[in-house]
Amino acid sequence: MEFSSFRSLDLYKKADLLVLCIYRVTKKFPRDEIFGLTSQMRRASVSVVANIVEGYGRRTANDKSQFYYIARGSLHEVEYYIDLALRLDYLDKEAHSELKTLRDDVGKLLKGFIDSIR
């Protein structure tokens, strides 16, 4: 039996890129946000990928969908944090737009995964 890897999934690659971008932009956030918005954005974005990976490794459709739905919830958190960072002037409009586009791409791919197992 050949074991395929989650690393080959476009969804994983795009979600992982989102995490990397979130880490890069939050490095520039104010130091006093290290335990606030910086931490929340990073944790939520990592949660998206971690739940995609865990769902991929599950056997049944119900188990898979449970983790994909959790990933979707975390992705909504990321969306809010990106918007909040813009309103707080921690992100410029260009960085916000890039993150939002990437977040939307992950959302579309994740929706496809959820739809495919229902």
pLDDT digits (tens, 9 = 90+) for 54-111: 999 999 999 999 999 999 999 999 999 999 999 999 999 999 999 999 999 999 999 9
In terms of C-beta distances under 8 Å and separation of at least 24 residues, what long-range contacts does 66-73 make, across chains too?
68/110, 68/113, 68/114, 68/117, 69/114, 71/15, 71/47, 71/110, 72/107, 72/110, 72/111, 72/114
**Number of folded domains that form the chain:** 1
Residue 85 lies in a domain: yes
Residue 2 lies in a domain: no
* Token reading at 91: 């992100």
30: Cβ contacts below 8 Å, ≥ 6 apart: 90
Give dist(CA 77, CA 96) in Å, integer. Answer: 15
CATH of the domain at 21: 1.20.1440.60
Residue 74 lies in a domain: yes
Residue 1 lies in a domain: no
Q: Residue 2 pLDDT more than 70?
A: no
The pTM for the full model equals: 0.93
